[in-house]
Amino acid sequence: MKKPPLSLSPLKSKAELTASGIENLVRSMLQKHRTPFMIIKRCQLERQFERFRKALPEVTPFYAVKANPHPKILRTFLKLGAGFDVASAAEMKHVLKLGAPSDRIIFAHTIKTPEDIVTARRRRVRMMTFDNESELYKIAKHFPRARVLVRIKVANSGSVVELSLKFGADPDQAAYLLEKARSLGLIPFGVSFHVGSQSKNTENYLQAIELAADIFEAARDRDIRLKVLDIGGGFPIQHFDNEIGVNFERMASQIRQSLKNHFSRDVRFIAEPGRFLAGPAGILVTQVIGRAFRNNKNYYYLNDGVYQDFSGMVFDHCRYEFKTLRRGQKILSTLAGPTCDSFDTLALNAEIPELYVGDAVYVKNIGAYSSASAVPGFNGFDPAKLLVV
C-alpha cells in the first residue's frame, strides 16, 4: 500500500495555534533525534511554578522529586526558589549535590531506614514526617532534635491513587504522637497530609485543613507550638485537551481561604506538588515500528510501552491522549508497546488516522511519573531519551 504524504490543515484558532506549535516542535526534534524521546519544555516548568505561586502565594512548593528527578528539571525549580520533597537518602543526596540548601528539603516518607535517617542527620536535613510511634523511636535514636511533622490520614475521595490506604496516623492520635515526639527529645514541628494523587475533589483539602487546625489547637493545649502545615500534593492537571473537572485556580482559591480562616499568620505553609509542576512540560514522541489487522481493527506497535515511559499507566493509573502528525478520518485502533508481553498494550480504542511504519505518535502532559518509573532495558528496550528545551 502506497504511503500517502503528510499534510497540515489550516489553523483557525488560538488552540490550534498551540497545537501547531507542538506539532512543529515534534517535527523539528524528529529530524535531530531517534525515537523514543521525551521533550521537557523548560518554559512550561517555569509557567507551572509561577501559576502555583500566584494561586497559593502563602504556600511554598517543595517539588516532589519522585515525579521526575532529571537534574535539569531540579535545577530549574531550584533557581525558581522551590524546596524539595525527598523520599530517600538517594533523592536527598541528589538535590543536595545540585546545590539545594538543607533547610529547603523535607524528608517526606513516614517509613525510613535507619541508614537514611543517619544520612539526613549528617546532611542537616532536619525536617521529616512520621505517622506512628515506632518511627519516632527510630528517629530519636538516629537523629536527636529532628523536626518532625505528624502525617495524618485524610479523605482521598475521587483521587486516582488513594495514598491514605498506606500512610497516615488517625487524626485523634496526632496530638498524642506529637507529645510522644517531644518526650523522646524530638521537636514537634507540624502536621502533614496528602489527599491522594490527581485529586479533583477540593473538599478533600478543606476537610484535611480543618482536621489539621484541630490538631494545632490540641497541641497548644499540651504546650506544643507547631510551626508548619504541609498540605501535600495531588493537585490535578489535564491529560486530555477537552478534559473537564480540572480547575486548579478555583481549587486553590478555596484552599487559600480555608488556610486564612483556620490558621494564624505565624504558621508556615508548604506543599509537595510533583505532577502539577512537571507533568504539563512533557511530550513523549514514539514511532510506529509495526502494523497489523487484528480483531477487526488496525493494530499499531510503538517503540515505547508500559515497561518504558508509559509506565504511568500501570503505577500511576494514568490515561493519555494519543496524537499523530497525520490528518484524515479517525478510526478506532489499538496501540501496543514493543515488548513481547501482551500486557504491554496502551489503548484498545484510540481514535487516530490510519498510520504507517515510521509515523510518529506523541503524547502531551506526560512529564511526571513516566520516565521516572520506567524499567531500564526490559526485553532489550530502553526508555526514551529526555531532552530539556
Determine the pLDDT at residue 4: 52
Alpha carbons 107 and 299: distance in angstroms, whole number: 45
Can you give the pLDDT at residue 317?
83
Say which of 340, 342, 349, 380 is annotated catalytic. 340
Q: Are 237 and 276 in contact (CB under 8 A)?
A: yes
Could you give the C-alpha distances from 111 to 13, 141, 151, 205, 230, in angstroms and in order? Answer: 50, 14, 11, 23, 17
pLDDT per position as a tens digit, 30-61: 999 999 999 999 999 999 999 999 999 999 99
Q: What is the pLDDT of residue 201?
A: 87
Fold of 43-278: TIM Barrel (3.20.20)
Per residue in 335-377, pLDDT tens? 999 999 999 999 999 999 999 999 999 999 999 999 999 999 9
- Whole-model pTM: value is 0.92
The pair phi, psi for residue 153, each rounded to 5°, is: -80, 130
Asked if 360 and 325 count as a contact pair (C-beta separation under 8 A), the reply is yes
Whether the CB-CB separation of 42 and 388 falls below 8 Å is answered with yes
- At residue 198, the pLDDT reads 82
Active site residue 340: yes
CATH topology of domain 14-40+280-388: Lyase, Ornithine Decarboxylase; Chain A, domain 1 (2.40.37)
Give the domain ranges of the chain: 14-40+280-388, 43-278
User: Along the 389 residues of the chain, how does pLDDT read in single tens digits?
Assistant: 445 544 333 333 334 447 889 999 999 999 999 999 999 999 999 999 999 999 999 999 999 999 999 999 999 999 999 999 999 999 999 999 999 999 999 999 999 999 999 999 999 999 999 999 999 999 999 999 999 999 999 976 654 555 556 789 999 999 999 999 999 999 999 999 999 888 888 999 999 999 999 999 999 999 999 999 999 999 999 988 888 767 999 999 999 999 999 999 999 999 999 999 999 999 999 999 999 999 899 999 999 999 999 999 998 888 999 999 999 999 999 999 999 999 999 999 999 999 999 999 999 999 999 999 999 999 999 999 999 99
